[in-house]
Amino acid sequence: MTTPIDNVPPHLLNQYKDDLVNMFFFAGAGISRSSSMPDVQIMLSCTADVFLPDDITRRHRKKVLYLQPEIIYEAIIRITGSRECLHLWQALHPGTQQIYGLECIPNIAHNFIVTHAAHHNVPIFTTNFDTMFEQAATSLGYEPKVYLPSDAPPNLAKANTGNKQVAICKIHGSICDETGRYTPERLLTTITEISSINVPWLEMIARLMEKKYICFVGYSGRDIDMFPEIKRFSSTLRHIKGNSGIYWINKFEKDPADGMSKECDAIRIEGVYPSDVFVKLAPSLLIPKRCGATSRSLRLRCLMF
């Protein structure tokens, strides 16, 4: 029997491996699913159970949940006059998981991306609220440095001494503040909030894209603050590089990411999870199937480093 990764053309995997040295990652919630993190659709469904009228039909409920999440939260927050609906997101907080005896730990994708960022001195960009990247960095012996939307972006000209610090740029906020406290007021969850263009961060991404490939993993491309601008950058760079400068690893056909990756003419690795690609290219990333937290003594020794 063949695995999905065996269906990816070998020349494409080889090209991807060659380009890894000049790459940085932009991750969405999809990469945290195998860490047992509730995804956006689960959170929206729970939110609907609490805040939608009891007599709403199943058909209308389905239509509501099909909307972009930020539209739904914008409506609920305006109608209720509070951000109470965001308290359900506390399920992503490590403290909440500990209270209920749950264990959500970083998986192969988190570990790979963190190790890659540390070795090549590039930031990680993510729309995720969870702390999987931070936990992966700590477990691998690196110091996670979190940048929130209100922060100035990392200084790319400053060398990462000893490759010990990993910059994690959380595009839409984090479930934790600097002290580890749950902070729903710092999450960007409405259309109004994400329609404000973060110019310094976009300028940093544009500078990175001039010299490196951007690789989207577990990302839908549905946000309105980042992806449209990144797509515009890629269109400009195509005349210089000869391609879009974008890689996109996507498992599912005909989902939002499938359409977005075609729109920006990305180099597409289709039908596989990011972790499948990372394990194929770096067998030393093989971690026990519980997938994730590793001891400090265990360091990833990836073939491309």
In a domain, 76, yes or no: yes
Task: Give the residues of the chain that fall short of pLDDT 50.
Answer: 285-305
In a domain, 90, yes or no: yes
How far is residue 231's CA from residue 91's CA, in Å, rounded to a whole number? 32
Same domain, 79 and 171: no
Same domain, 173 and 45: no
**C-alpha count within 13 angstroms, C-beta hemisphere, residue 263:** 16
Are 108 and 278 in contact by the 8 Å Cβ rule? The answer is yes
How far is residue 110's CA from residue 293's CA, in Å, rounded to a whole number? 10
Provide CB contacts within 8 A for 168, sequence distance 6+: 123, 124, 126, 133, 134, 137, 144, 145, 146, 147
- The pLDDT tens digits of the residues spanning 85-128 come to 888 888 888 888 888 888 889 999 999 999 999 999 999 999 99
How far is residue 248's CA from residue 187's CA, in Å, rounded to a whole number? 26
Q: Which of 99, 116, 138 is the last residue of a domain?
A: 99
Predicted local distance difference test score (pLDDT) of residue 194: 82
Same domain, 63 and 120: no
Same domain, 48 and 28: no
Same domain, 193 and 246: yes
CATH number of the domain encompassing residue 229: 3.40.50.1220
In a domain, 222, yes or no: yes
Single-letter residue type at 226: M
In a domain, 299, yes or no: no
Pairing of strands 124-126, 143-147: unpaired
Same domain, 119 and 63: no
Same domain, 131 and 175: yes
Neighbours of 2 (CB within 10 A): 6
Pairing of strands 246-250, 213-217: parallel
Predicted local distance difference test score (pLDDT) of residue 299: 31
Q: Which of 63, 79, 99 is the last residue of a domain?
A: 99
Range of the domain at 72: 40-99
Same domain, 158 and 279: yes
> Residue 264 CA to chain centroid, in angstroms?
18
Rounded to 5 degrees, φ, ψ at 107 are: -105, -175
Predicted local distance difference test score (pLDDT) of residue 303: 31
Same domain, 67 and 209: no
Single-letter residue type at 56: I
Same domain, 197 and 218: yes
* Strands laid side by side in the 213-217 sheet: 143-147, 165-170, 124-126, 23-27, 213-217, 246-250, 267-270
Query: How many domains in the chain?
Result: 2
Same domain, 126 and 168: yes
In a domain, 47, yes or no: yes
In a domain, 267, yes or no: yes
In a domain, 228, yes or no: yes
How far is residue 156's CA from residue 163's CA, in Å, rounded to a whole number? 13
Q: Which of 82, 99, 116 is the last residue of a domain?
A: 99
Coil vs helix vs strand at 146: strand
Predicted local distance difference test score (pLDDT) of residue 1: 62
In a domain, 298, yes or no: no
Same domain, 76 and 174: no
Question: C-alpha angle 261/305/238, rounded to 5°?
Answer: 30
